[in-house]
Amino acid sequence: MPSLNHAELTRRTFLGRSAQGVGGVALASLLHGNSLRAAPARGAAHPLPLPQRVRRVIWLTMAGGPSQLETFDPKPRLAAMHGEPMPESFTRGQQLAQLQGQKLFCHAPQFPFERFGRNGTEICSLFPHLGSIVDEICLVRSMTTDAINHDPAHMFMNTGSQIAGRPSMGAWVNYGLGSEAEDLPGFVVMISTGPGRSPQPVASRQWSSGFLPGRFQGVQFHGGADPVHYLANPPGVDRARQAADVGAINAFNRLHGARVPDPELATRIAQYELAFRLQASVPDLLDLRGEDARTLDLYGCTPGDGSFASNCLLARRLAERGVRFIQLYHRDWDHHSQLREELPLRARETDQASAALVRDLKRRGMLDDTLVVWTGEFGRTPMAQGNKGTTGRDHHNRAMSMWLAGGGIRPGLVHGATDELGYAAVDKVCTVHDLHATMLHLLGIRHETFSVRFQGLDARLTGVEPARVLHDLLT
Amino acid sequence: MATPPRIAAAFLAASLLSLLRAAPAGAVEFNRDIRPLLAEHCFACHGPDAANRKGKLRLDVREEAIARGALNPGRPEASELLLRLASPHADEVMPPPETNKPVAPAARALLERWIREGAPYQRHWAYERPERALIPPGENGIDHLLNRRLAAEGTKPAPEADRRTLIRRLHADLTGLPPSPAEVAAFLADPAPDAYAALVERLLAGPHHGERLALGWLDAVRYADTIGYHSDNPRNVWPYRDWVVRSFHRNQRFDRFTLEQIAGDLLPDASDETRVASGFNRLLLSTEEGGAQPKDYESRMLADRVRAIGTAWLGQTTGCAQCHDHKFDPWTMKDFYALGAFFADVREPAIGRREEGMLVLDPEQRTRLAALQAQEAAARAAYERLLPAIDAAQPAWEAAARTEPAPATANSAVERTQRQVRAALAKAPAQRNERERTLVRDSHRNLSGLGAPERAALAAATATRQAYHDSLPKSLVTVSERPARVVRVQPRGNWMDESGEIVTPALPGFLPAPDFGGRVPDRLDLARWLVSAENPLTARAVVNRLWAQFFGLALSRHPEDLGSQGELPPQQALLDWLAAEFMASGWDTRHVIRTITLSRAYRRSSVAEPAALAADPENRSLARQGAFRLEAELIRDRALAAGGLLSLRVGGPPVRPYQPAGYWANLNFPPRDYTPDAGEAQYRRGLYVWWQRTFLHPSLLAFDAPSREECVATRSRSNVPQQALVLLNDPTYVEAARGLALRVLDGPAGTTARIGHAWQLALQRAPAPAEQAEAERLLARHTEDYRRDPAAARALLATGQLPPPAAADPAELAAWTHLARVLLNLHEFITRS
């Protein structure tokens, strides 16, 4: 949050000393919402070096690592070789996860692909809704990553580094651009899990602000009575009682400031006001009663169910309110086994809502300045994994699929390709750093010059290795 | 390199300003004036990193810069460096335009002057032995050095703070606990000339000084209760935390403190105590994730340990050298891996569950365990005495057993065993193999019922001993295992690339090191070197970090980086003197703390006049004290203390405060439940809160407590709305507020006196008239409100696990709870000034 300037401070002090008593005015202003709000903060990247194509990001993370071979990357040759040994020319000397050192067999794509859209793009038949918007999205079949275990892979995807302590993308973007949301955090995270199995954990460091100031860290919204930790008043304290206390706290703080000048104090006062407003704005945000039946049907959600579909709808509401970076996780894509049984469930939980989000943004004219990204943290092997029950696929870092949609993104494009068995990206290979560079580019930021001094280095989201903006994906 | 956005740009601007101020006086000074410019603009391509060096030119070594024509001492007009800065040709100009780092005209002028003056270099300041400035006898070195500077600059230092501020400051810095109103009153009234010094000594000697100092060290070594990666499961290591607290409490010398942590298992006088200390080597992140490759994590753990030594002891950012020679400091990749090789003998699984750890017993526990072991041995002997007689009955049992029907299925382990027994019974005894003989014999012993009472007694004794064993403290320690793991330089940090050179333990080549006479040094040698008189870094790093605890900002701003990208400390003479003094005192940490707290500089007021604030907003001149928000753990301590709830017990297993439901929902393998502790454990100091790395307690996280996944030398100090939500709504703070209200109502009668009492308990001062009036208004508002709604009052008072007092008037107590809550939320309450 920005510190208040001197004029604001003076006015606050003046109000604070009026005849009604120091707490009274503050209380009234809090309750009636006419407190002095700070102007939207401008971020560190201003003035923006590039035209800003999008103002916000909605990142859909399919946590666990969805298989590209059962989603977006058709491989008839792999089907033909089903059950045959994986040719060693593909895998020799490569890093594998649980299959390391085991005999490797080709495993056919488990579900048919269908053609969708103007270009007849092939997408797995489990995703008809995404198929129906294929002309709106840009599909990348040549994505790769460095990491091969969940935790480091999420870290790499979110922070550009496998070492803990780096800021996540959402923190970087808020640092660079500032927040446009007056009464909400600039970076919101929501996590959903389908019913059933035991999904991979997701650590809170995935939305950490790392070495950036703490105000840029992601705030997790939960379903239930306490959507943000400590948001609810204690039992027996209603909003008026809370307002009386917050008003008194700020009144006492102003009196203190009059005795002891302290630059932090103005910020402290502003944060109490913001906290109090958050206590109203978050429940308001989460209250889906105002959404019409058509919209609820579009997403396929029941308000309050904590599903991915509900979260997609909330993501749109957050976007409307100026939240800069919204990240949704949907867990349980880690199909070492039970690929045939489980992956269709994840598809059902996410397909309609992901497509609905893009459609809804579009019909509201928001898709032009929003970037939607759909990724996992890595892909999966074309080889079978059979040592954990019914067959599945192991982690894989050399091939994965993702899609993007929104402002500046070339709709309907299919970018890059893997080899004939879907083992490795071979055409127009994209890296995580490239993705980050491209996202920053769309936001108006040059990734090469967007850095913060940390441990003696100008640390960048895109790291020290060369990264490219994926201009092919852009209009 | 890139134009950094605001933070770095502001930095640069500030450093240029200081250059402009500083330079025109005396001669240009390389370390102060020139090295930062070269580091900022040139070293990325023309520095120590050989692999990425451009045009074979390095500017960090004078001879090479001269040999390549970049510098022509005395002749700026013939120095390529300067010519390139001003070149009109886009392909010649330096730094290259795309790096967006143009050199400002003032900086260019400075470089020109420097070359004209002969382009003298200096070794990087932190790699020189710290100089111990001569201090006149009887003077405090800190005051001598600071006052000399202040006088020269014509700056008038702030006056001494008032006594209430001083005692609160000392308490915050030396114990982290607030003084009681009585302690403040006694100090205010103490006429003794040495009252202040006596207070310092009392706090240093007390039971809580060790806890206060431990906070910073536990950050530096990334102490936590869980493994960090993926499942983030628990591990046993809290006895190490208690060892740190104890070490600071008894003022263990820092050299020995170092030896015990890095090589507590290798010391000639190694003991359980030093082995617990050697748990330091086990504090790093580890994984239990399926599919994790041992070599991958071996590599991660090596790098983790090198970074830890770099941060906690050397104040060096070594991480860069994992993939390439450091771009700014003389760390080579070989230095990095050779330092990591010191730890290649540490026995540990590369992946998977950590072992239970060593039993850490006090004498009473040791006696009890020995007694239970003896009882178990006696029970075993009693049973074993019967075995010959029991076994003699076996043939008859076998004959009967052969006639019993076989189990219908083989689904359970029991059924499978039964089938194996039957198969063995079918054979003649002489035909059975060893396994079958044992199987039949044990089946008979278990099933025949012979010696049943003795068997039961043995089982009971074993269970008792085992249950006691399970309840005992254990701690991961270092066990040295030879041969050590082979360590290679990993090209580009890639663990799959095994083409790199094999390295053995070696100290960084650019720092002075002892001659090991051809012997390969071990961890003990490393530890001794870290705290040797030749090592220029450790003492500086330690006192620099300590300074931040007592003034809010370290002397060299980035305590994790005393390298060329760190900050040349504006008070270098002071940092160096203090470091030298630390070493000369025999690494006596308490001597340094005493020197700091007894100085006039420490005792100054933190209240800045507007002019002083404008001239030196960050107080780098140290003309005043600092005012800064308390650490997360200390805010908790202060609130619980004000509420009369704080437990002052020192040490023990980690504790679980109230935590929002579902906070651990995204942990798995296994899913985690969270049950807050009951009773006294609920009210322990923040130091003892369960440190879950991937989901640190949200009230600590909100106040910038680090996750301790990486070593941290400085905590950030944010000011965010979540902090307000914690202090307003976390049940810990609500319960503390109720506790404070009860204490107030237990005190003097009458609203005015009670408000005064509340202020004393929370802030150790009397309320100002305006505060008194506001407090009365708030009390009246809430009392009236809750009189109309007593159910709400009772609901508020039921927060927390302590039962509300039955006799109290709920509306009155609720109203006072509100006022207490307001006090616990005040900026003044969470600020140390």
A322/A196 same-domain check:
yes
How high is the pLDDT of residue B11? 41
Q: Do B11 and A453 touch (CB under 8 A)?
A: yes
Residues of B in contact with A188 (CB under 8 A): none
Does A89 map to a domain?
yes
Does B159 map to a domain?
no
| Arithmetic mean of pLDDT, A60-78 | 97
Residues of B in contact with A204 (CB under 8 A): 694-696, 701, 707
A56/A175 same-domain check:
yes
Beta-ladder partners of B228? B286
A391/A263 same-domain check:
no
Q: Is the dihedral of CA A7, A9, A10, A12 positive or negative?
A: positive
- For B467-553, where are the E strands, in sequence order? 474-475, 487-488, 502-503
**pLDDT tens per residue across span B683-709:** 999 999 999 999 999 999 999 999 999
Beta-ladder partners of A371? A57, A406
Query: Testing the interface with A: which of B298, B722, B832 to mutate, by most A Cβ within 10 A?
Result: B722
Distance in angstroms (rounded) separating the CA atoms of residues B711 and A163: 12
Instruction: Check whether the bond before B388 is cis (ω within 30° of 0).
Output: no
Domain C-terminal end among B85, B106, B122: B122
**Domain count of the fold of chain B:** 4
Residue B8 pLDDT class (50, 70, 90 cuts):
very low
Distance from CA of A122 to the nearest CA of B (A): 31
Query: Testing the interface with B: which of A449, A450, A452, A464 to mutate, by most B Cβ within 10 A?
Result: A449
Distance from CA of B720 to the nearest CA of A (A): 6
B327/B417 same-domain check:
no
State the amino acid at position B601 in one-letter form.
A
Q: Do B293 and A395 touch (CB under 8 A)?
A: no
Residue B321 pLDDT class (50, 70, 90 cuts):
confident
B293/B425 same-domain check:
no
Asked if the model's pLDDT at residue B406 lies above 50, the reply is yes
The answer to whether A459 touches A166, Cβ cutoff 8 Å, is yes
The answer to whether A141 touches A101, Cβ cutoff 8 Å, is no
Structural domain span for residue B434: 398-447
Does B387 map to a domain?
no
Q: Characterize A13-52 residue by residue with b for buried, 16 or more Cβ atoms within 10 angstroms of its Cβ, and e for exposed.
A: eebbbeeebbbbbbbebbbeeebeebeebebbbeeeeeeb
A206/A271 same-domain check:
no
**Helix (H, G, I), strand (E, B), or coil: what is residue A260?**
coil
B789/B659 same-domain check:
yes
Q: Chain B residue closest to A213 (CA)? A: B718
Check residue A175 and report its DSSP letter.
Answer: H
Instruction: Give the count of beta carbons closer than 10 Å to the beta carbon of residue B746.
Output: 11
Distance from CA of B789 to the nearest CA of A (A): 9
> What are B101's two structure tokens?
């780092």
Does B418 map to a domain?
yes
A78/A181 same-domain check:
yes
CATH number reported for the structural domain that contains residue A172 in this entry? 3.40.720.10
**Distance from CA of residue B61 to its chain's centroid?**
36
| Arithmetic mean of pLDDT, A196-213 | 88
Share of chain B above pLDDT 90, in %: 78
Alpha helix (H) residue ranges in B236-346: 238-249, 254-263, 272-277, 294-309, 333-341
How high is the pLDDT of residue B52? 80
Residues of B in contact with A176 (CB under 8 A): 5
Query: Testing the interface with B: which of A102, A211, A245, A331 to mutate, by most B Cβ within 10 A?
Result: A245
The answer to whether B243 touches B478, Cβ cutoff 8 Å, is no
B675/B762 same-domain check:
yes
Query: Testing the interface with A: which of B607, B718, B738, B784 to mutate, by most A Cβ within 10 A?
Result: B718
Q: Do A201 and B696 touch (CB under 8 A)?
A: no
**Domain count of the fold of chain A:** 2
Does A297 map to a domain?
no
Does B250 map to a domain?
yes
> What are A182's two structure tokens?
């007056």
A57/A160 same-domain check:
yes
The answer to whether B330 touches B444, Cβ cutoff 8 Å, is no
A366/A414 same-domain check:
yes
Asked if the model's pLDDT at residue B408 lies above 90, the reply is no
How high is the pLDDT of residue A224? 67
A341/A366 same-domain check:
yes
Domain C-terminal end among B511, B535, B559: B535
ipTM exceeding 0.85, yes/no: yes
**pLDDT tens per residue across span A222-279:** 876 778 999 999 999 999 999 999 999 999 999 999 998 888 899 899 999 999 999 9
Q: Chain A residue closest to B671 (CA)? A: A198
Instruction: Give the count of beta carbons closer than 10 Å to the beta carbon of residue B108.
Output: 16
Which residue, B747, B745, B752, is CA-closest to B810? Answer: B745
B659/B789 same-domain check:
yes
Helix and strand totals (H; E) in chain A: 13, 16
B429/B309 same-domain check:
no
A30/A60 same-domain check:
no
Instruction: Give the count of beta carbons closer than 10 Å to the beta carbon of residue B769.
Output: 8
Domain C-terminal end among A290, A312, A331: A290
| Arithmetic mean of pLDDT, B362-383 | 97
Q: Do B229 and A151 touch (CB under 8 A)?
A: yes
B678/B635 same-domain check:
yes
Asked if the model's pLDDT at residue B22 lies above 70, the reply is no
How high is the pLDDT of residue A314? 96
Check residue A270 and report its DSSP letter.
Answer: H
Contacts of A275 (CB under 8 A, 6+ apart): A246, B721, B722, B724, B725, B728
Which residue, A426, A394, A339, A312, is CA-closest to A126? Answer: A339
Structural domain span for residue A337: 44-223+304-473
CB pairs under 8 A between A and B: 282
B404/B339 same-domain check:
no
B294/B416 same-domain check:
no
B488/B442 same-domain check:
no
